[in-house]
Amino acid sequence: MTCTFCQIANGEIPAHIVHRDEEVVAFLDRAPLLPGHVLVMPVRHVETLDDLPDSLLAPVLAAVRRTSVAVQKALGAEGSFVATNTRVSQSVPHLHVHVVPRNKGDGLFSTRLIWQRKKYENDSEMADLATKIKTAYELAR
């Protein structure tokens, strides 16, 4: 079985990368909850958070934190929503953490969590957002 996220991490499938190092890659979700929705994951195939080795905890969570700061700064968001699924509702069996920019009244939550994904209008919109977040990521400490 071929893992789509491993293929992205290995550069076999194009993605709008906002961060990449030896252990972690972060890229725009193709069907975001809100524009600027980023997925952060280990480069190495790890199926779930439960399976993440201790040696990758700090690198992955540090990248999640920096991505949260970056999406807020890059997009002028008031905050962020950070989440991961473990098996149930995990669309790709490769650990990935969702970092979604948030603003009051953005409609992401109502009386229950609503995952209403939307497509970007075009690749140019994705590229522009990825560049903004990548620049902010580099500045986030």
**Among all chains, which residue has been given the structure tokens 């906002």?**
18
User: How far is 67 from 26, CA to CA, in rounded Å?
Assistant: 8
**Residue 46 corresponds to which amino acid?**
V
CB atoms within 10 A of CB 21: 10
Of 16, 37, 94, 96, the catalytic one is 96
User: How far is 96 from 86, CA to CA, in rounded Å?
Assistant: 9
Give catalytic status of residue 98 as yes or no. no
Alpha-helix residue ranges (DSSP H) falling in 1-141 = 4-9, 54-75, 123-139
- Residues forming a β-bridge with 26: 19, 40
Q: Which residues have a catalytic role annotated? A: 96
